[in-house]
Structure 1
Amino acid sequence: TTYYGLDLYGEVRLVQLLKELEQLEGLDWIRLLYLYPVHFTDELIDTIAGSSRIIPYLDMPLQHINDQVLKRMQRRVNRAQTVELVGKLRARIPNLVMRTTFITGFPGETDEQFAELKDFVRETRFERMGVFTYSYEPDTPATKLDGHLPEDVKEARRDELMAIQQDIAFEFSDSLVGYELDVLIDEEPEPGLFVGRTFADAPEIDTCVFVSGDNIKVGDFVPVVIEARQDYDLIGSLAEEEETTE
C-alpha cells in the first residue's frame, strides 16, 4: 500500500489518495492493509494521526526481524529501521493497533535467529499477528538458497511463535472489557444474533464481536459495551440496552 502511485505516476501518492478518500460522504472507516515499512513517511504518519476516518489500525507484514534473514528475503529494511518505525508509530498515532505477519523456517533460519524473532514479538507486543511457514515456490529466488528446513521444524516454530502471540492477543482483548466501542455489523448468523468488528479488527482475519439485539442491520455501526472475551472473540451488548437496565 505504501507503494501506491509508483507504477501510475512514478512517485508515491498514498497521502494524496487518503486525503481524497476522506472527502467521500458515507465512508466512515478507512483501514490500511499491507503497508510495507519502506516509504512510510512522516507525512503519512501525520495524515493517519490527524484523520477522523483513517482508523488507528495498521497492517504491516514484517516477515522477520533478524538482519541476515531479512537480507536473504530481499527485504529493504533492517531490524534497527523496523524498531525505529514501530516506536514512531506507537508514539504518534493514538490508540494504535498493529497487525503483522511473520514467516518461520525461511531457508537458512537458525535457532538463534528464530530466538531473536521470538524475543522481538514478546517485546513489541503486536495486538494482531499471523504466522506462516515458508512454502517452497518454484522459480522464486528463495528456492536457490541453501539451508531449506524440514516441514516439522517450520511448523514447530510457527506454533511456538503463535503460542507467544496468543497470550499477547488475549491480554489486549481483556483490556477492552468494560469499554464501549463502535462495532461494524458484518452478518446475522441467526435471528437476533449479530457478528461484527471493532476498529481493531480486519475482516476475516481478526477478532469478531458477538452481540444480540433488535433493530440492527448488517452494515450498521452500533455502540457496543464489551462484556467478555471468549477465546479470540468478544461478547458484547448494545450500549443503549446497557443504559436502559440501570
Structure 2
Amino acid sequence: MEGRIWLFFQFLGHDPMVQLVVHTIISAVLAIAVAKLATRNLQIVPNGCQNVMEATVSGILYIGKDVASEEIARKYLALAGSLAIFIFMGNFIGIIPGFESPTGNVNLTLTLALIVFLYYHYEGIKAQGLGHYIAHFAGPVKWLAPLMFPVEILSHFSRIISLAFRLFGNIKGDDLFLLVLLMLAPYVFPLAGYALLTFSAFLQAFVFMVLTYVYLYGAVTGQEEAL
C-alpha cells in the first residue's frame, strides 16, 4: 500500500522498490528465524515452534504426495516448503499496520513465478533428456504436432502470468481491504477482518506451493494430463 503515512520504514524514502526490498528482507528473515527457532533444540516429543514447524512440514509432504507422489514430494520439499513459508510471511506482515506485503508487488511475485518456471523445466530436462522433454510438447498424436507444439509453449508461458498475478492480485486486494478497514475504524481492532486476511495469507501460500508441486510432477514425469 504505497503512500501509507504510517509505514515504519518511511525514513528510507517513498520509492516503492526500496520498500519492496526492505519488506522482502524482513519476510526472509522471519522465515529463517522461525526455521532456526524450530530446530534450535530438537526434542523427541516436540513442543512450541518445533511442533508447529513439524506440523507444517508434514502438511506440505501430505499435500505433495496427494498432488504428485511421495518421491517428488520429498525430493522437492526444500523448494516447495521454502516458497510456502516465505510467501506466507510476506503475505502476513502486510496485515500488521506499519508494514507492507512484498507479495503485493508484482515484481516479487513475477520473480517467484520465474524461479518455479525455470526450475521445473530444468528438472524436466534433467529427468527426461532434452530431446524427449521437448518432444512431449508435440503431444501423443504426430499429425497434430504442428498445432499442439505452439499451444503447449503458450500454455507453459501462461503459467508465469498465472502464478505471478494470482498471488499479486489477491494480496494487493487484501492490502486495499485492510487499508479501508483501518481508515474506517483506526482505533478499533477489526478482528473478523484480520482473521479473514490471515486465512487468505495462508491460502495464497498454499496455492502457490501446490502449483509448484504440480508443475514439477508434470515436468519430471511428462504426464501433462496431471496438470
TM-score of the superposition, structure 1-length normalised? 0.25
- The TM-score normalised by the length of structure 2 is 0.27
Higher relative contact order (CA 8 A, sep 6+): 2
Structure with a larger share of its residues in strand: 1
